[in-house]
Structure 1
Amino acid sequence: MEFVRRLARVSQGQLAPLCAFFGGVAAQEAMKALTGSFTPLNQWLYMHCEPVIPSTSVTTRTNTDLHSRYGPLAICIGPENLQRLKNLSAFMVGCGAIGCELLKNLALLGVATGDRAAISQTKPMLDSNSQQTSVRQNVDTCGSSGPLHSPLSISQPNQGGAGDVTSGQFTPSCNSSTAQTLGSTSLNHHIPDGSTVLDDRQAGVSVTGITTLIVENDQVRTSRSGVLVDKASETQVANTEPISHHSAVSSTSHLSESHAASAEVCVKRPKADSKEATTSRVRETLAQSTKSFPLCGIETEVHNASGPSSASRANVNVSSLQADSRPLLLITDPDHIEKSNLNRQFLFHTKHIGLSKSAVAAEAARQMNSAMRITSMEEKVWPANEKTLFTDEFLLNLLSPKSHKSAESRVPSGIVLTALDCVPSRRYVDTRCVSLRLPLLESGTLGTKGHVQVILPGLTESYNSQRDDDVGPDAAESIPYCTLKSFPTLPIHCVEWAREKFASQFTLKPERLSQLLTVLDRSRPGRQLSVLCASLLRIPTANSDQLLNEAERETKARWLSGQLTCSLASFLASRPIDWYGCVRLARDKFERYFNHKARQLLHSFPPETRLADGTPFWQLPKRQPTPVEFRATDPLHQKFLMSYSRLLADQLTIAPTAGVDFNSSNAEDLAKHLDSCLQGYTPPVFVPSAKRIATDEDGTFEASVNNQNAEATTGGDPLNLDEHTIRALRTTLTALEDAVKLRSIYACHSVAFEKDDDRLAHVDFIASAANLRAVMYGLPVTPRHEVRRIAGRIVPAIATTTAAIAGLVCLELVKYACRTPTSDSLNPTTHASRNAFLNLALPVIILSEPAPCPRIRLPNQSEFTLWDRWTVEPSKSLDIYTLEDFVLDLKKQHALEATFITQGNRMVYISYLPGHQSRLSKRFTTLLDLDPEDAYVDLSIAYDAGVDAPANADYIHGPPVRFLLRPTRGSVVSS
């Protein structure tokens, strides 16, 4: 019964995350009804978050609470918990689909707004009579209240849009004195739909402009002049002191008491592209005061999405975080907005394509809630930034509890939110959170599937505690090399092969060639390269000594022999000089990729080939290839030649032939164009090769690359160059002697894959190449949109699942912020938290309590979890501190004998290796991989299992050990 009472007390409230969850589920059900896909929901669905309701009885609230911006939220969680949410700092990694939804929910919850006040919203009036009545009641209510704390009464709340600021019009709250100042009937008229009212509690709201209230012909209208204007007297009502940039007006002692008691300012934040924010014109207008009027603590902050990059604009560092105790929401994402993002990342629009995701998302969040203190960055959270940007000190200062007015507001510490689509990044962020004992809310979606994991320090397991061995970080990386190169079994293998060909032909090789030419030929293009090629081939060249002396020529020739591989030399020599050359080279590639490749495989493995056990070689899953014969009238063949030619033309800055419609559906026109370009062309003749083809499913790309590079890095001896390289070098020499060819070579530049611009031939090339390879192996062809998704690494995501998952994440965030300290052994936060696993297509929604972190017992009978870390401070100066000293210090502190000591992948000490016994007397720091600025080093240590250990257990791993290189008093130690 108490449960029912608690729910009844909050029946008038609204919790934005719960609305987001049900909105996502309901929208998915609507899609099922319209499309007839998936399984509809055919039962009642109950979903509650009762733990966020305060345990104490809910007192009766005034209408002011209900109608304020956070009123419906305060009804649900209570004013104390609401303040905790406002004082909560957060670090969000990723601003993709989930990130956009999270920001929306965080803005509605008021996270990181501090003590800034709320904005209210009215509901549309029905008729003029009701308008006058309701507004007159508001005036009367204001008049019956105290001068500075007048409760604001609004006729009807807009429950459907609670907390949303959707209108661009504002009107000030008032009391009786204000009404008398502006005229007794001036406020008894229409207040525009969606008008926003500010009360005296909004003294600290972040603004960049002020709205003018003008009374004219007994009508109230608003203006953007920057001050309140009394039309009758034509005087401006403003503070006598101008507001300077980044300043706050906190004192009104010089103003008359009547005005200080009666007037309240109405403010509005302009759009992102507005130039009104804190301009000199506004400041001058404010300065021209002829009448005293208080400005209630206006704090100006400039946020301009069109300004510098967020990385430079943020200017976030440790010292600024230490000096500023206000809550902060920090978001970071190195990606930029692409066209394919727009269907599910709702904060982004067409005008934002190419801009930083984090900067645009932050600006959109500010428009939802201008009181949010939010900063955007464009840096990637990964090991390379661990010691320079996202350091331990930086994260701890960002997310440590802030110093607020009340003890209750200091209860929640900061929290980390991840909105990532990359498993390695998730694992890295989880590792950092475990190391620093930071709470983490991890989430992800895949189509209609989604999950939420709550990770609490010292209580739950982490993201890395569970691993799916069959899931790789990248689809291409999980495909065996031999499958990708020679034996595809699925259409996706063909798409990945085509993607690799695009990267090789149009990105990687041009980059290597450009670097090579830049190093060798800074003053005389092609000259040094010609001399060095001739030197490698033992061909004398005239005036070579004037360009390079003998020693320098020999040194560079040896360097070139290791850089100019056979494939790169062939790439250089094959660059065309005009559009017809591009088409002919595309025709060569068609023959080699889809005809010669199949014939080579059949030459190496004839159809009758059998394995050692007598089974046929060509049996499923291996598919026997069939050579593809070129036909100029085949649309798929045309698409490959035209797309490859266009990419070559773009790479070499060659203008295509005028009058060619590349997107024409008329195969005859394209066939005629191809015939004219290939007139007199002879395709290359197939010559069988003795090159070994990898067939081992366990073979890796690395092993193959090492074998290929072996012949190209056989020292600098020209006699060790293979036949193909020598032929390529000679071809290169011939190419460099042609001035036109030389210009084409130096114009070669890399082309980055672009999946969203259909005017380019990028997706067309990959789709045609993948499907031609599929035809060669008898596999189904792949639709173009599916090729775009696979090649563009587009993670399947729909707005319904994203909204539902983001709602569940923010529900857990509210639970975390609303938690209270307890001395019980069972922390209530653990029981209130829920991991979520859902599939809206079935539909299945599973909520479970987070699994506790396992406890491991050590030989000294102590226990530890993944959240524990031991700290060792050197007992003597580091100059004389040895490995043996470190082992002894560990033994003194924990009564354990170290047998394995590693630093990452670096082996520091293994007790049973004879050679490592000599390391005991060496200075400890010489055995570690250290940077001069390091203050500590983290080590992994295993200890002797002891006499009571099982027979197969020689050692047991302990918690991470942090060895302090710069011992300081009060250092953070987790144990």
Structure 2
Amino acid sequence: MEVERRSSAPAIDESLYSRQLYVLGHEAMKRMGFSNVLIVGLDGLGVEIAKNVILAGVKSVSLYDMKPTEVADLGSQFYLSDADIGQPRAQAARERLAELNAYVSVAVVTELPDAASIRRWDVVVAVGQPLSLQLELDEMARAAGAKFIAAETRGLFSSCFVDFGEGFHVHDQDGEEPLTGLIASITEDDDGCVTTFEETRHGLETGDLVTFVEVQGMTGLNNSEPRKVTVKGPYTFTIGSTKNLGGAYKTGGYFRQVKAGKTFDFKPLRQSLMAPEFLVSDFSKFDRPAQLHVGFQALNAYQQTKQALPRPQNADDAEELLRLAKDIAQRQTDPVVVDEKLLTQLAYQARGDLPPMNAFMGGLVAQEILKACSGKFNPIVQWLYFDSLESLPAAPLTEADCQPRHSRYDRQIAVFGAAFHAKLQNTKEFLVGAGAIGCEMLKNWALMGLGTGEHGAIFITDMDTIEKSNLNRQFLFRPKDVGALKSAAAAAAVTVMNPALTGKITVHAERVGADTETIFDESFWHALDGVTNALDNVEARKYVDWRCVYFRKPLLESGTLGTKGNTQVVVPHLTESYSSSSDPPEKSIPICTLKNFPNAIEHTIQWARDTFEGLFLQGAENANLFLSQGRSYLDSLVKQGGGSTQIEIMEGIKANLLTHRAHTFEDCVAWARLRFEEYFANQIKQLLYNFPPDAVTSTGAAFWSGPKRAPTPLQFDASNPLHLDFIVNAANIRAYNFGIPAVRDAAQVAAMVASVAVPAFQPKTNVKIHVNDAEAAKDADPSDDDRIHGLISELEKVSVPPGGYTLHPAKFEKDDDTNFHIDFVTAASNLRASNYAIAVADRHKTKFIAGKIIPAIATTTALVTGLVCLELYKIIDGKKDIEAYKNGFINLSLPLIAFSEPIRAPEYKYNDKTWTLWDRFDLDGDLTLQALLDHFQNEHGLEITMMSCNAVLLYSFFMPIKKRKERLGMTMVQIYEQVSKKPLPAGLPALTLELCCNDRTGEDVEVPSVRLALQ
């Protein structure tokens, strides 16, 4: 046994694990760094589990599987090749698995563990193993204090068992940030009713625990023992008696939710077999777990007796399985009546091994391993069964159609038959995006054989290149690929997995959008059988969705957010589209809160991020525009209007090119020191001059109360690391703007800053500070012509050296740890937080918020893509029953797996005709306007009142009569070119017209769009 424990885990490589860290956190990652995992069984499911766990970053993974590689293994075990046939599966895959993560030791063991050696591992996983071995491993693991998991997939069925022993403690059940809220009042009585400000609901649930800070007038509540909450409304909850806590509540204060852990006691496998506890994975199949619990035991008994699994579609073998199942069902603590139809399907598919099912279960089990290692998130208690029988083809299968062909696809053919497999091979699918989901999708497609047939094809596009932070979850990429095009690298990687894809993948590096419709043109879309999105932004998703609706192509949509994921299937003429519904917009922070009245670290981080843009990006860009265009640029600013905005831009140009133009690094340090004084001392002093700490409102209430915190100016101290950090980072980014070499030595910078002269603060009596955004909008600063003209006169004095002069704008980049960007935002945010007595945030949290990072982990991605590909089987089969399809919603931290039927496409009516978003009118582009009007009147009973194309109005009932008559004899192309004053692009295949119509009763009705074919 090669694995040995070490006394310490390596430091966490944040550039590699950055997205995962925002899912698990540093403490959980550290605990994982001490954890050793043994995986027994390296079939398709085993390698999925190993891949996900290695990417996650445990200490070591040991592999046991002495079974020789067979041709059929290549259909699901993506790290095996033809050259490995005959070699032990674990040994053949070890090197490729080890390449996934240099921080994880990957070893092969050649003997199963015994009671002594099993202590070397923290988690033992049995994959596709006989029940007798599972029982033996579970008993040894429990005795050694190790965690045990068993899992297997059989065609479209899968099973997972979890045993983490007795007294397993979970530190954080869901991974969500503790809720906090600002207090408006607290009653002094036996109930202690807390009311929060009506800006944000408190979000608590009855039974939650909360603590309090900064409460004035009821000081005994601050930092006391957690209080249990009883929710009374969205803005109120009670906490029990608040008497004798230092008097009545006065003002201020925050509540903070306390995340309570939970301890689980697991039953051993032998006991749990007879009295199982299920996690339901699909509530539409509530009775399935008990049936499959019996069925999988019967399958094991069959295999032990026959030394083989039941043959595909063989009635005799299925009958024998049913006999065994009925006997086992009666021995359960709660006897089960066997569902013969269901367990017959289990027998028929027992020899099947499907990549999507392995991806689903591989993501799920790997996350359970991480829970076992880290104590983060709720584990499965204790059995989970999952099936996707809806994915079977509608056409009846025969035993002959499911016989092995001695090919890598035999175990897929065992489930779906050769005829369906041929259909899958000849599918043309478009994958939009080759990131985390895209990599997993391509892997599944390669193993399934999608697009490998004579008429099949795969198209991929992704404009991004590979970064180091991608390697933790975009598993097709290696360190050598950093900087390469994602789509090309991913295509090359999956072609190695399945050489039959050679010449079948077309790679693009363009985003799919309006500006690339000459590349992804009508002929491209018409040739496709379907589209799969692997995108990370809503706008791109909506555009692809619109094209799929226009060309009536099925779309598979999915997304992940940490341990959460969702899938959506869009089927022409059946379901709604992706764009039919949308999430509410993200809540923005009021500008006045950012500028003057922050009360949360999120406010100061956003302020620091905005400050970065103004100082280092926009300021440099504006200066460059002035240097290149001169006076004409200033004139264009004056024409744009905006008053204070004009002045702000010109003042910035003046600072960059005149008053604070940097020639040396010392100049940059001096500039940074003045910025410190301005932001964290002078602006605060001015705010307190306008609104002293004892200021009151017109109603006599204290001005500094509720969400408004009275700030305190900072006194610069070079010995304070936070103060000096700001100078170091600000000066270095400023130096980058001016092409001056960096100085990273803080001691050198401290010496430079000591000599900087800082003018004394003088309050301004004519400055108005707005209390809220509505007041700011009402009092928008008018243009100050004298000041603008004065600035123009000063800027005309700027001298440009021979050969020109250009600043280097600093575009914010969160993933480069050497560019000072995140460090500046962290320092600036924390200094401003110090002004307002807000708890500061570390660099990790600041990077997450400022960089708007989407938390990601390989386990969720694998599971989600598995669900997507199970829906792909249905789409390829052409299912017309909406009940066959499923949208998925998962949260591996709870854990929760839920499904819903897709929403049917909404129906609309005009006259006696019903239509959906999938319908349109297809007409000849040579029709004149008169012919078009007559066609709709005579054929559809519709009077066209308005008609437009690409926001160009071509016809309306309120047009002058003369203009309407002129257009009646013209085609729509002629009218469009006349109105838009530009010719249509050569080769344009069609025009899309949007209509407003009245029905036969004269009522305004919605109607489909019109496609006018031009070619």
* 1:893 aligns to 2:939 (yes or no): yes
CA RMSD of aligned residues (A): 3.2
Give, as a single letter, the amino acid of the residue that structure 2 aligns with 1:682: V
Q: Give the whole-Å Cα distance in 2 for the aligned partners of 1:627 and 1:943.
A: 64
TM-score normalized by the length of structure 1: 0.62
Work out which of the residue numbers 558, 567, 576 in structure 2 matches 1:461: 576
* 1:939 aligns to 2:993 (yes or no): yes
* 1:363 aligns to 2:426 (yes or no): no
SS in 1 for 2:460: strand
Q: Name the one with the larger strand percent.
A: 2
Higher relative contact order (CA 8 A, sep 6+): 1
Q: Give the deviation of 1:95 after TM superposition.
A: 1.4
Give, as a single letter, the amino acid of the residue that structure 2 aligns with 1:832: A
Equivalent residue, structure 2, for 1:251: none
C-alpha contact 1:9 1:58 (8 A) present in aligned 2 = no
Q: Give the deviation of 1:684 after TM superposition.
A: 6.2
**In the superposition, relative to structure 1, how do residues 793 and 355 fare at CA in structure 2: closer, same or farther (>3 Å)?**
farther
* 1:393 aligns to 2:393 (yes or no): no
Taking the TM superposition and a 5 Å limit, the aligned residue runs for 1:413-562 are 414-469=529-584, 471-472=585-586, 478-519=588-629, 558=635
Taking the TM superposition and a 5 Å limit, the aligned residue runs for 1:588-667 are 588-607=674-693, 617-656=703-742, 661-662=745-746
Q: Give the whole-Å Cα distance in 2 for the aligned partners of 1:600 and 1:351.
A: 54
Q: Give the whole-Å Cα distance in 1 for the aligned partners of 2:668 and 2:701.
A: 45
* 1:108 aligns to 2:447 (yes or no): yes
* 1:807 aligns to 2:866 (yes or no): yes
CA deviation map 1:718-737 (0-9, x unaligned) = xx74326625742x466638
CA deviation map 1:4-56 (0-9, x unaligned) = 22321221110010011001111111222222222211143221122334543
Q: Give the deviation of 1:94 after TM superposition.
A: 1.2
**In the superposition, relative to structure 1, how do residues 22 and 605 fare at CA in structure 2: closer, same or farther (>3 Å)?**
same
Q: Give the whole-Å Cα distance in 1 for the aligned partners of 2:780 and 2:359.
A: 55
CA deviation map 1:106-133 (0-9, x unaligned) = 1111111114xxxxxxxxxxxxxxxxxx
Give, as a single letter, the amino acid of the residue that structure 2 aligns with 1:331: I
**In the superposition, relative to structure 1, how do residues 438 and 627 fare at CA in structure 2: closer, same or farther (>3 Å)?**
same
* 1:334 aligns to 2:463 (yes or no): yes
Q: Give the whole-Å Cα distance in 2 for the aligned partners of 1:814 and 1:62.
A: 16
SS in 2 for 1:376: strand
Tell which deviates more after alignment, 29-38 or 631-640: 29-38
Tell which deviates more after alignment, 787-796 or 564-573: 564-573
Q: Give the whole-Å Cα distance in 2 for the aligned partners of 1:955 and 1:689.
A: 60
Q: Give the deviation of 1:480 after TM superposition.
A: 3.8
**In the superposition, relative to structure 1, how do residues 63 and 897 fare at CA in structure 2: closer, same or farther (>3 Å)?**
closer
**In the superposition, relative to structure 1, how do residues 9 and 393 fare at CA in structure 2: closer, same or farther (>3 Å)?**
same
Q: Give the deviation of 1:655 after TM superposition.
A: 2.6
C-alpha contact 1:766 1:787 (8 A) present in aligned 2 = yes
Q: Give the whole-Å Cα distance in 2 for the aligned partners of 1:835 and 1:679.
A: 65
Number of residue-to-residue matches in the alignment: 654
Q: Give the deviation of 1:749 after TM superposition.
A: 1.3
Q: Give the whole-Å Cα distance in 2 for the aligned partners of 1:691 and 1:873.
A: 66
SS in 2 for 1:838: strand
Work out which of the residue numbers 786, 791, 815 in structure 2 matches 1:722: 786
Q: Give the whole-Å Cα distance in 2 for the aligned partners of 1:41 and 1:379.
A: 42
SS in 2 for 1:488: coil
Computing the radius of gyration from Cα coordinates, the structure with the larger value is 1
Q: Give the whole-Å Cα distance in 2 for the aligned partners of 1:453 and 1:508.
A: 40
Equivalent residue, structure 2, for 1:682: 758
Tell which deviates more after alignment, 674-683 or 31-40: 674-683
SS in 2 for 1:863: strand
Taking the TM superposition and a 5 Å limit, the aligned residue runs for 1:818-857 are 818-819=877-878, 827-828=880-881, 830-857=882-909
Taking the TM superposition and a 5 Å limit, the aligned residue runs for 1:772-811 are 772-811=831-870
Tell which deviates more after alignment, 608-617 or 839-848: 608-617
Q: Give the deviation of 1:68 after TM superposition.
A: 2.4
Q: Give the whole-Å Cα distance in 1 for the aligned partners of 2:981 and 2:854.
A: 38
Q: Give the whole-Å Cα distance in 1 for the aligned partners of 2:877 and 2:357.
A: 16
C-alpha contact 1:569 1:725 (8 A) present in aligned 2 = no
SS in 2 for 1:91: strand
Equivalent residue, structure 2, for 1:12: 351
Q: Give the whole-Å Cα distance in 1 for the aligned partners of 2:927 and 2:813.
A: 58
Equivalent residue, structure 2, for 1:869: 920
Q: Give the whole-Å Cα distance in 1 for the aligned partners of 2:700 and 2:922.
A: 61
**In the superposition, relative to structure 1, how do residues 955 and 64 fare at CA in structure 2: closer, same or farther (>3 Å)?**
closer
Q: Give the deviation of 1:956 after TM superposition.
A: 2.8
C-alpha contact 2:592 2:771 (8 A) present in aligned 1 = yes
Q: Give the deviation of 1:938 after TM superposition.
A: 2.4
Q: Give the whole-Å Cα distance in 2 for the aligned partners of 1:75 and 1:929.
A: 62
Q: Give the deviation of 1:64 after TM superposition.
A: 5.5
Give, as a single letter, the amino acid of the residue that structure 1 aligns with 2:722: L
TM-score normalized by the length of structure 2: 0.60
Q: Give the deviation of 1:79 after TM superposition.
A: 0.9
Q: Give the whole-Å Cα distance in 2 for the aligned partners of 1:32 and 1:929.
A: 64
Q: Give the whole-Å Cα distance in 1 for the aligned partners of 2:682 and 2:939.
A: 69
Q: Give the whole-Å Cα distance in 2 for the aligned partners of 1:961 and 1:60.
A: 48
Equivalent residue, structure 1, for 2:432: 93
* 1:29 aligns to 2:139 (yes or no): no
Give, as a single letter, the amino acid of the residue that structure 2 aligns with 1:677: V
Work out which of the residue numbers 959, 965, 968 in structure 1 matches 2:1008: 959
Tell which deviates more after alignment, 478-487 or 569-578: 478-487
**In the superposition, relative to structure 1, how do residues 333 and 603 fare at CA in structure 2: closer, same or farther (>3 Å)?**
farther
Give, as a single letter, the amino acid of the residue that structure 2 aligns with 1:330: F
Equivalent residue, structure 1, for 2:821: 762
CA deviation map 1:930-960 (0-9, x unaligned) = 6521443323333336659xxxxx6332222
Give, as a single letter, the amino acid of the residue that structure 2 aligns with 1:941: L
Q: Give the deviation of 1:642 after TM superposition.
A: 0.1
C-alpha contact 1:910 1:916 (8 A) present in aligned 2 = no
SS in 2 for 1:105: helix
Taking the TM superposition and a 5 Å limit, the aligned residue runs for 1:900-919 are 900-903=946-949, 905=951, 911=957
**In the superposition, relative to structure 1, how do residues 569 and 817 fare at CA in structure 2: closer, same or farther (>3 Å)?**
same
Equivalent residue, structure 1, for 2:650: 565
Q: Give the whole-Å Cα distance in 1 for the aligned partners of 2:844 and 2:724.
A: 19
Q: Give the whole-Å Cα distance in 2 for the aligned partners of 1:611 and 1:392.
A: 64
Q: Give the whole-Å Cα distance in 2 for the aligned partners of 1:764 and 1:384.
A: 37
Work out which of the residue numbers 577, 591, 598 in structure 1 matches 2:663: 577
Q: Give the whole-Å Cα distance in 1 for the aligned partners of 2:785 and 2:435.
A: 50
**In the superposition, relative to structure 1, how do residues 58 and 871 fare at CA in structure 2: closer, same or farther (>3 Å)?**
closer
Tell which deviates more after alignment, 48-57 or 569-578: 48-57
Taking the TM superposition and a 5 Å limit, the aligned residue runs for 1:301-380 are 326-372=455-501, 373-380=504-511
Give, as a single letter, the amino acid of the residue that structure 2 aligns with 1:848: S
C-alpha contact 1:872 1:962 (8 A) present in aligned 2 = yes
Taking the TM superposition and a 5 Å limit, the aligned residue runs for 1:146-157 are none
**In the superposition, relative to structure 1, how do residues 61 and 79 fare at CA in structure 2: closer, same or farther (>3 Å)?**
closer
C-alpha contact 1:90 1:329 (8 A) present in aligned 2 = yes
Q: Give the deviation of 1:629 after TM superposition.
A: 2.4
Q: Give the whole-Å Cα distance in 2 for the aligned partners of 1:725 and 1:606.
A: 35
Q: Give the whole-Å Cα distance in 1 for the aligned partners of 2:633 and 2:917.
A: 53
Q: Give the deviation of 1:611 after TM superposition.
A: 5.9
Give, as a single letter, the amino acid of the residue that structure 2 aligns with 1:890: F
Indicate the percent of aligned positions where both proteins have the same amino acid.
Answer: 37
Gaps in structure 2 of 5+ consecutive residues: 1-339, 640-645, 968-974
Q: Give the deviation of 1:644 after TM superposition.
A: 0.8
Equivalent residue, structure 2, for 1:219: none
Taking the TM superposition and a 5 Å limit, the aligned residue runs for 1:237-276 are none
**In the superposition, relative to structure 1, how do residues 683 and 417 fare at CA in structure 2: closer, same or farther (>3 Å)?**
farther
